[in-house]
Amino acid sequence: MKVYKFGGASVKDAAGVRNLLDIVRDQSELFIIVSAMGKTTNALESVFDAYRTGDLATAQSKIDEIAAYHQAIIDDLFGEHRTLGQVEALISELQRFITTVPYDALRAEERYDRTVAFGELISTTIISEWLNFAGIANHWVDMRRCFVTQFRHKDANVDIKASKHRLRASIENTGVGVFVGQGFIGGAPDGTATTLGREGSDYSAAVVANILMAESMSVWKDVDGVLNADPKIFKDAVKIDALNYLDTIELAYSGAQIIHPKTIKPLQNKNIPLYVRPFGDKTKPGTVISNDAERVKMPILIYKRDQVLLIIRSKDFSFVMEEKFAVIFSLLERFRIKTHLINNSAVDLGLCVDASWHIEELIKALEAEDFEVELHDNVGLLTIRNYNDDLYNRYVRQQNHIVRQVNPESVRVVLRETNF
């Protein structure tokens, strides 16, 4: 058994879905994990935002756009005026949820997960039907019933031990060797939908690979493999042929869009190699991530956008000691806010975090605990591993940074977005 994961950009249109067919056609034992098509997750977040603010007319308009986008792909694949009953049922279910279930601020994240989960449910339904139509018999798998997660929304972890029997039972006695399941989503013990964090489809595929003891996992992307920098930002980016698990974990933690940070451990535990391969040409080898690769020595540049810098200090200017750290980090956990850089002095604590609609709530909660909070929005976090003098001078010394951290192997700076 192999596991293939296809991201939203790979299946954003009918041409991408046809290309997926070409990639999987010669595989007889395969579990396919698919993300929502194109920017559907973003569109569903817009639906949720309208629902959250009581603007049901806008929510319905956004749902209509989502339905039209997917119907255009269906028309292109199967011929005009073809409908897929399962897709129409999912759209109707989303509409009913938004219009009949009142928004509850205390259950905001559970409502969010229920909304955005429809993206993967719709995409996998279309792709499963297309593969059947093209002569590749397959079985559609509902990962909400297979992945048992904790009672945590927006960033849940999968309980692999509890999920093992469910996933294996879902593919037994189906009479086929190809399976199509959703990335990004699972189910809490009470049956409610949960999500595994943005870009969590990589993690989904890794858990499937672990449970089914796959020979390999492949992530198909719109680049030739793992690059040492984002080519849209850094013009001289080059491909890395091989990475080890440790390097990959460190890079993912720093914000590199290589692979979801939680992906590596399920693979490493079973020594399953991970291939990052180009969606446009399946003959290219891409990048292999395994235990056997050497540490990477070339410079690696990672720029993480959409960040917020919070400078937190006690109102009485007392030292920020361990007991106050505990209060701060418990609030970060409560509001599901991820921290990517920590910078502390005797009297304040600097945190570079993902921009989120919970930031205002966090600041109010911190102020209630007698902290002052200085907010810097529209910032980015630059990390350079294996930096040299040229890179340091170009991206650190000459930039107007707010925070800088330097050690012998890496440098990290918080920059104004407009300066980069």
Each residue's pLDDT tens digit, 40-76: 999 999 999 999 999 999 999 999 999 999 999 999 9
User: What parts of the chain have a pLDDT lower than 70?
Assistant: 317, 319-322, 418-420
Q: In this predicted structure, what is the pLDDT of residue 319?
A: 67
Q: What pLDDT, on a 0 to 100 scale, did the predictor assign at position 131?
A: 98
> What is the spatial distance between Cα 43 and Cα 119, in angstroms, rounded to a whole number?
9
The CA-based dihedral angle spanning residues 92, 93, 94, 100, taken in that order and rounded to the nearest 10 degrees: 100
Q: pLDDT value at position 324?
A: 81
- Measured N-to-C along each axis, helices 56-78 and 14-24 cross at an angle, to the nearest 10 degrees, of 50
How far is residue 138's CA from residue 21's CA, in Å, rounded to a whole number? Answer: 12
Per-residue model confidence (pLDDT) at position 419 = 55
Report pLDDT for 346. Answer: 79
For residue 410, give both structure tokens. 């890496």
DSSP letter, residue 11 = G
- At residue 234, φ and ψ (nearest 5 deg) are -110, 110
122 within 8 A of 184, measured Cβ to Cβ: no
Q: Spell out the domains of the chain, with CATH numbers in brackets.
A: 2-214 (3.40.1160.10), 300-419 (3.30.2130.10)
Are the C-beta atoms of 420 and 382 separated by less than 8 Å?
yes
Q: Which residues of 37-57 are buried (b: 16+ CB within 10 A; e: fewer)?
A: bbbbbebbbbbbbbbbeeeee
pLDDT digits (tens, 9 = 90+) for 301-360: 999 988 999 999 988 767 666 678 889 999 999 998 989 999 988 788 999 999 988 899
Residue 420's pLDDT is 56
What residues contact 295, with CB distance under 8 A and at least 6 apart?
244, 246, 247
Query: How far apart are the C-alpha atoms of 47 and 115, rounded to whole Å?
Result: 8
pLDDT of residue 320: 61
Q: How far apart are CA 173 and CA 209, in angstroms?
A: 19
| Cβ–Cβ under 8 Å, residues 121 and 40 | no
